[in-house]
Amino acid sequence: MDSRDASEPGGRRGWTDREVDIILSRLLKVGLLASAALVAAGGAVFLLRHGGETAAYGVFKEGPRAYREIGGILRETAVFGGRGLIMAGLILLIATPVGRVAFSVLAFLRERDRVFVAVTLTVLAILLAGVLGLGAL
């Protein structure tokens, strides 16, 4: 990304490197802080509701099915379920760098840098395949 302030035809202005860096840093900070807040809130709720229970470490007990699907996690989060909030925070933590790469695609598109658009789209596709569990195919 070029550091000069490139004006595009039609009065549209390109982003400078500094502007892109600021947007990306804010995206990462907000994602991290929101994720930490969700996990902390979920941990507090979970401990308030289940803190007095004794853990049975000798027996593996599979968790509820609701926590294996995004819809179930969102439903649990909507009713302030501790585990749902924790899982939502972890999903947001994973999604934050993916969002950074997606924003980078937009920045490179705006600069009309086809090579970096192609490379960044490839990275985004690989990240999404891994996150969605398509890497084993």
Could you read off the pLDDT of 1-55 as tens digits, one per residue? 444 444 455 545 668 889 989 999 999 999 999 999 999 999 999 999 988 888 7
**pLDDT the model gives residue 98:** 93
**pLDDT the model gives residue 4:** 45
**pLDDT the model gives residue 3:** 45
**pLDDT the model gives residue 68:** 80
pLDDT single digits (tens) 60-106: 878 788 788 888 888 999 999 899 999 999 999 999 999 999 999 99
Angle at the Cα of 111 from the Cα atoms of 108 and 112, rounded to 5 degrees: 85
pLDDT at 116 over 90: yes
**Alpha-carbon span 106 to 112, nearest angstrom:** 10
**pLDDT the model gives residue 60:** 82
Give the start-to-end residue ranges of the domains of the chain: 16-51+59-131
Q: Among residues 128, 122, 63, 65, which one has the least CA distance to residue 94?
A: 128
pTM listed for this prediction: 0.76
**Between 57 and 22, whose confidence is greater?**
22
Signed CA dihedral, 67, 70, 72, 73: sign only: positive
**Alpha-carbon span 16 to 24, nearest angstrom:** 12
**pLDDT the model gives residue 121:** 95
Confidence of residue 137 (pLDDT cuts 50, 70, 90): low
